[in-house]
């Protein structure tokens, strides 16, 4: 494509994508499927990388979508709204069950819930009255849609039951029954208006209307799936949902308590065929560990709880021709094969590409060029190839072979024992890895450097101003100002943000380094055990694997990272500019008196509020927990302590400490 053609096509794509963004996020009237939208965005991203001279600030490729809008105020979620891991197979469900049993104690019960296809809502109640309702938003904060939620008849405005906690959060799915959508669309067609696409989008769009009267007219319903509070009525998820039902919330009759994974699979099998008889759309089943103490023991990753999983019902499969296979290199060096396909309609959208995951998948499928392949959409943005029609294969067709060298830098690829993916080990010199590592370093959950995005990193990289993230701290104003699309104001903002990042906490610095297999949660765990980067560098395999959540693979990756002199040189350069490589600089840390102790707070207090006591526990290196388990060190017990916690403590022999006793322990009498 010529430069002039590329510019024209890029501008056309941007305009088209912005229009779809407006329709989806603001008007809630999407014209295309999510996958078709992703195809447009991927095409724009590819062209911008090929023709970086046409990248502009604010391009759709560098903006993250959420349901947050300017028309509503935003508030932080009291408890973050995380996503769920997905599975499509019985085998993966059984693997989930095996992991649960391996990582928690006691017998396991599961709660199965239908996965309703609607819009998630989080509602806070105070003193029995509905206080605030927030959309999922970006998971950390959401739009305040309280007035609209108050029009939904299945959501009580006030609860008088004596068992209700003083403050609690209840979560559910806002739904539109199919019959309601059909009636709405009949009315719209008579009025010569375009019909709504599906119940899910219509429910989400209705929730964001500025006129609560229209919301009230659309007969939305809310199915509850989670109850959260400091003082819950029961120590398990199932009974808490049943209790919420007694309070007047709409809890689905379909929820089931299962004693083992076989009963879970029976539940899933039953609803796969029966779901067509429901008045609402569902796309799967959510499986949760019932015990709250076991949930606490299992914990969370940065994105999802380890104690829950969503089983998705299998999607439609289509047949099409395999045209070619390309190989893409990611930030961590993983090489992913992607199939280019003859366009085919699948689940209402046109599919042109499919993931092949890794070399084992290619070998298993025995792929040849021009094969007729079966493509399944599943829950992935990029569909996957699940089979080949060997009867239609040309006997002279060429077998697809996985590459042996990196397509970007030519380095020989490596595949570690026990891992499925090949990766390029040249992480300090392979261009997409270099840029990817810098993009990871500056990201919000890492060093959080504003003003720098993928396009600016590309610009700095192409002008030989940076080759690794330590180079960012050497940048000067006179180097940035002459660059295209920057100028003095933008350059000053970038340098100011880089300087500010020097104060980033140690655990986020560890995450920012981009050590293979060390995500946000593992970085936090490591920083709690190895209080400085020097302690971590000296740690051996045995010391690393003795830490919860660090297995042999992560330990080997950490050791390999710090065995590389170039990595150590980068770290030393970061030290010189003042980057925080120790928890000793943490001004919030008072002492390590409570190190290794897990503490539950229950009841009302005189000297401090509950939130202040939580902060005091963390300042003294303790860990807060919401539920009582065998791992609980003691309960900080105030007046009117929760009866269920008291009974559990008595059963497990967990000591109760008064407010005065606790303050003596931490030296604040």
Where is pLDDT greater, at 302 or 645? 645
**Does the pLDDT at position 608 exceed 80?**
yes
pLDDT value of position 68:
47
**Does the pLDDT at position 208 exceed 70?**
yes
Fill in the DSSP letter of residue 469.
G
> Could you tell me the strand order of the sheet in which 656-657 lies?
623-625, 598-602, 634-637, 656-657
Average pLDDT, the chain: 87
Tens digit of pLDDT for each residue in 239-258? 999 999 999 999 999 999 99
Q: Averaged over 397-411, what is the pLDDT? A: 94
Q: Which CATH number fits domain 74-312: 3.40.50.970, 3.40.630.30, 3.40.50.1970, 3.30.470.30?
A: 3.30.470.30
Fill in the DSSP letter of residue 423.
B
Tokens of 315: 């999607």
Are the C-beta atoms of 599 and 622 separated by less than 8 Å? yes
Tens digit of pLDDT for each residue in 419-453? 888 999 998 789 999 998 999 999 988 999 988 88
Q: Please, what's the largest Cα pairwise distance for the chain?
A: 84
pLDDT value of position 382:
64
Tokens of 481: 């100002």
The domain ranges of the chain are 3-62, 74-312, 431-585, 598-665
Are the C-beta atoms of 123 and 171 separated by less than 8 Å? yes
Neighbour-count burial for 549-565, b at 16+ CB within 10 Å, e otherwise? bbeeebbbbbeebbeee
Are the C-beta atoms of 499 and 491 separated by less than 8 Å? no
Tens digit of pLDDT for each residue in 522-547? 898 898 788 899 999 999 998 898 77
Q: What sign results for the dihedral spanned by CA atoms 128, 218, 215, 207? A: positive
pLDDT value of position 77:
92
> Nearest Cα to 278, choosing from 200, 177, 203, 198?
177
What pLDDT band is residue 186 in, cutting at 50, 70 and 90?
A: confident
CB atoms within 10 A of CB 620: 20
**Does the pLDDT at position 556 exceed 80?**
yes
Q: Which residues are catalytically annotated?
A: 115
Percent of the chain at pLDDT > 70 equals: 92
pLDDT value of position 22:
58
Collapse the DSSP code of 156 into the 3-class scheme (helix H, G, I; strand E, B; otherwise coil) and give the result: coil
pLDDT value of position 302:
74
pLDDT value of position 126:
94
**Separation CA 120–CA 142 (nearest Å):** 10
pLDDT value of position 420:
82
What pLDDT band is residue 42 in, cutting at 50, 70 and 90?
A: confident
**Does the pLDDT at position 372 exceed 60?**
yes
CATH match of 431-585 with 1.10.150.20:
yes
Among 97-106, 414-423, 461-470, which is the least confidently predicted range?
414-423
What pLDDT band is residue 165 in, cutting at 50, 70 and 90?
A: very high
Pairing mode of beta strands 308-312, 656-657: unpaired
Angle at 614 between CA 610 and CA 618, to 5 degrees: 165
Which residue blocks in 451-503 are alpha helix, DSSP H?
A: 454-462, 477-480, 487-500
Pairing mode of beta strands 598-602, 623-625: parallel
**Does the pLDDT at position 394 exceed 80?**
yes
What pLDDT band is residue 2 in, cutting at 50, 70 and 90?
A: confident
**Separation CA 281–CA 399 (nearest Å):** 42
pLDDT value of position 628:
86
Tens digit of pLDDT for each residue in 120-158? 999 999 999 999 999 998 788 899 999 999 999 899 999
pLDDT value of position 197:
64
**Does the pLDDT at position 163 exceed 80?**
yes
What pLDDT band is residue 643 in, cutting at 50, 70 and 90?
A: confident
Tens digit of pLDDT for each residue in 43-101? 887 888 788 878 775 577 654 344 444 568 889 999 989 888 888 889 999 999 999 99
Q: Which CATH number fits domain 598-665: 3.40.50.300, 2.30.42.10, 3.30.70.270, 3.40.50.10190?
A: 3.40.50.10190
**Separation CA 42–CA 61 (nearest Å):** 8
pLDDT value of position 66:
44
> Nearest Cα to 284, choosing from 314, 312, 256?
312
Domain boundaries 3-62, CATH class: mainly alpha
Which residue blocks in 174-285 are alpha helix, DSSP H?
A: 178-190, 199-207, 212-217, 237-246, 261-274
**Separation CA 634–CA 622 (nearest Å):** 11
**Separation CA 562–CA 583 (nearest Å):** 19
- Own/partner pairs for 296-301, CB < 8 Å, 24+ apart? 296/625, 296/626, 296/627, 296/629, 296/631, 297/103, 297/104, 297/105, 297/629, 297/631, 298/100, 298/103, 298/104, 299/521, 300/82, 300/521, 301/519, 301/521
**Separation CA 338–CA 493 (nearest Å):** 38
């Amino acid at each position: 494509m010529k430069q002039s053609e590329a510019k024209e096509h890029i501008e056309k794509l941007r305009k088209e994508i912005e229009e779809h963004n407006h329709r989806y996020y603001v008007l809630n009237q999407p014209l295309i499927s999510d996958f078709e939208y992703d195809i447009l965005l991927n095409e724009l991203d590819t062209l911008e990388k090929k023709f970086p001279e046409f990248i502009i600030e604010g391009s759709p490729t560098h903006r993250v979508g959420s349901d947050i809008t300017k028309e509503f105020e935003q508030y932080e979620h009291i408890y973050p709204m995380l996503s769920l891991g997905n599975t499509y197979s019985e085998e993966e469900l059984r693997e989930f069950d095996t992991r649960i049993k391996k990582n928690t104690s006691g017998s396991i019960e599961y709660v199965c819930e239908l996965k309703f296809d609607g819009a998630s809502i989080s509602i806070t109640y105070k003193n029995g009255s509905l206080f605030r309702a927030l959309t999922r938003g970006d998971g950390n904060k959401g739009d305040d849609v309280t007035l609209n939620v108050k029009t939904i008849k299945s959501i009580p405005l006030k609860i008088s039951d004596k068992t209700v906690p003083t403050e609690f959060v209840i979560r559910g799915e806002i739904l539109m029954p199919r019959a309601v959508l059909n009636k709405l669309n009949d009315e719209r067609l008579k009025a010569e208006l375009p019909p709504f696409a599906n119940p899910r989008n219509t429910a989400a769009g209705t929730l964001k209307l500025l006129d609560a009267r229209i919301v009230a007219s659309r007969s939305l319903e809310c199915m509850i799936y989670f109850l959260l509070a400091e003082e819950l009525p029961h120590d398990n998820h199932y009974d808490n949902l049943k209790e919420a039902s007694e309070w007047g919330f709409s809890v689905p009759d379909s929820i089931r308590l299962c004693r083992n994974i076989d009963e879970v699979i029976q539940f899933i099998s039953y609803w796969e065929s029966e779901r067509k008889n429901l008045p609402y759309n569902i796309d799967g089943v959510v499986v949760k560990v019932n015990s709250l103490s076991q949930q606490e023991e299992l914990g969370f990753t940065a994105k999802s709880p380890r104690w829950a999983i969503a089983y998705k019902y299998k999607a439609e499969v289509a047949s099409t021709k395999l045209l070619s296979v390309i190989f893409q290199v990611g930030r961590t060096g993983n090489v992913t094969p992607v199939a280019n396909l003859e366009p085919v309609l699948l689940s209402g959208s046109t599919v042109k590409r499919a993931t092949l995951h890794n070399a084992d998948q290619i070998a298993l499928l025995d792929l040849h060029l021009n094969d007729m392949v079966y493509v399944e959409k599943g829950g992935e943005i990029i569909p996957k190839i699940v089979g080949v029609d060997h009867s239609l294969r040309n006997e002279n067709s060429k077998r697809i072979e996985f590459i042996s060298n990196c397509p970007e830098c030519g380095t020989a690829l490596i595949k570690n024992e026990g891992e499925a993916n090949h990766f390029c080990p040249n992480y300090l010199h392979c261009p997409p890895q270099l840029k990817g590592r810098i993009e990871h370093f500056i990201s919000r959950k890492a060093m959080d450097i504003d003003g720098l995005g993928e396009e600016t990193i590309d610009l700095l990289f192409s002008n030989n101003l940076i080759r690794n993230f330590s180079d960012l701290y050497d940048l000067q104003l006179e180097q940035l100002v002459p660059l295209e699309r920057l100028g003095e104001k933008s350059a000053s903002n970038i340098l100011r943000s880089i300087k500010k990042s020097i104060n980033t906490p140690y655990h986020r610095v560890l995450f920012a380094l981009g050590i293979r297999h060390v995500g946000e949660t593992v970085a936090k765990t490591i920083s709690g055990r190895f209080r400085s980067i020097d302690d971590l560098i000296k740690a051996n395999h045995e010391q690393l694997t003795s830490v919860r959540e660090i297995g042999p693979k992560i330990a080997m990756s950490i050791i390999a990272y710090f065995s590389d002199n170039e990595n150590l040189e980068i770290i030393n350069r970061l030290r010189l500019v003042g980057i925080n490589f120790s928890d000793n600089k943490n001004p919030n840390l008072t002492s390590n008196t409570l190190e290794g102790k897990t503490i539950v707070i229950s009841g009302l207090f005189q000297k401090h509020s509950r939130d202040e006591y939580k902060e005091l526990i963390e300042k003294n290196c303790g860990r807060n927990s919401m539920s009582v388990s065998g791992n609980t060190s003691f309960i900080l017990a105030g007046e009117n302590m929760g009866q269920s916690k008291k009974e559990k403590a008595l059963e497990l022999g967990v000591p109760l400490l008064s407010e005065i006793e606790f303050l003596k322990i931490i030296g604040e009498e």
